Amino acid sequence: MMVLMWKARWFPTITNFKSMKSIIRMGILSGFLSLFGCTNNASLTDSSIRAKQIVITELNGQLKLLDQHKTEFDLIGITSNGIDCIYFVKDSNKFQIEFEAMGNDQIQFIDKLKAFASQNGYATQMKTYGNKPQYDAPEAPVLKILTNSDIEETAVIAQKIQRDVFGNNEETKYDVVP
């Protein structure tokens, strides 16, 4: 009887096991985000863990998964080098595109993206999520491009941004980041 009480006390119950499983998942996700978030860190190139890679013409499929709530979060992003990271956020059944300048080398692209948005008839908003950038600023700025677009339009706009603002082409490989 004493052994049974000891086991019951020290081994997790089914409920505790589910909680532990959630905690483990969050820890893994946190590690994944720190490895594959949008930062320019050359030491990550040798990592054996890789994010899903696509070319820009495959973005439609990833946006459909986001639209169907089959992604880990309510947004996804793509980046080929940690600098050209753009996020896709669903807002009232329409998509918006965001760019967060986490690195000093990303700041210059805020004005370029504002110009792109203006030239293509999209309004923009500046905001922050309170993230600490890798340069001397209290919070990283986020440019939200109000495209109010559907999946197909969003994929076309993203392709134009990657080509016109960041100089990428149809063969550029992008990591899909959460």
Residue 42 resides in a domain: no
E strand or H helix at 157? helix 151-164
Q: Could you report the per-residue pLDDT of 114-172, keeping only the tens digit for each?
A: 999 999 999 999 999 999 999 999 999 999 999 999 999 999 999 999 999 999 999 99
Same domain, 69 and 99: yes
Is 12 or 161 the better-scoring residue by pLDDT? 161
Q: Could you report the per-residue pLDDT of 55-107, keeping only the tens digit for each?
A: 999 999 999 999 999 999 999 999 999 999 999 999 989 999 999 999 999 99
Buried b (16+ CB within 10 A) or exposed e, 25-34: eeeeeeeeee
Residue 164 resides in a domain: yes
Question: In this model, does residue 18 exceed pLDDT 50?
Answer: no
- pLDDT recorded at residue 55: 98
Edge-first strand order for the sheet with 86-91 is 53-55, 173-177, 75-79, 86-91, 94-100, 141-149, 123-128
Q: For residues 151 and 64, is the Cβ–Cβ distance under 8 A?
A: yes
Please state, in angstroms and rounded to a whole number, the distance separating the CA atoms of residues 124 and 143. Answer: 7
Same domain, 117 and 150: yes
Tokens standing for 114?
């504002």
pLDDT level of residue 37 (50, 70, 90 thresholds): low
Q: For residues 36 and 177, is the Cβ–Cβ distance under 8 A?
A: yes
Hey, which bits of the chain come out as E strands?
53-55, 75-79, 86-91, 94-100, 123-128, 141-149, 173-177
Residue 41 resides in a domain: no
**Contacts of 40 by beta carbon, 8 Å cutoff, 6+ apart:** 81, 82, 83, 103, 105
- pLDDT recorded at residue 51: 79
Same domain, 14 and 100: no
Mean pLDDT over each residue of the chain, to the nearest integer: 82
Question: In this model, does residue 23 exceed pLDDT 70?
Answer: no
Q: Could you report the per-residue pLDDT of 133-148, keeping only the tens digit for each?
A: 999 999 999 999 999 9
Q: Which of 128, 31, 147 lies closest to 89, judged by CA? A: 147
Residue 149 resides in a domain: yes
Question: In this model, does residue 24 exceed pLDDT 60?
Answer: no
Number of domains in the chain: 2
Domain residue limits at 141: 48-177
Same domain, 13 and 74: no
Same domain, 70 and 122: yes
100 to each of 44, 67, 77, 79, how far by Cα in Å?
Answer: 20, 22, 11, 12
Average pLDDT over every residue of 46-53: 66
Please state, in angstroms and rounded to a whole number, the distance separating the CA atoms of residues 59 and 45. Answer: 22
- pLDDT recorded at residue 31: 40
Is 144 or 18 the better-scoring residue by pLDDT? 144
Is 124 or 44 the better-scoring residue by pLDDT? 124
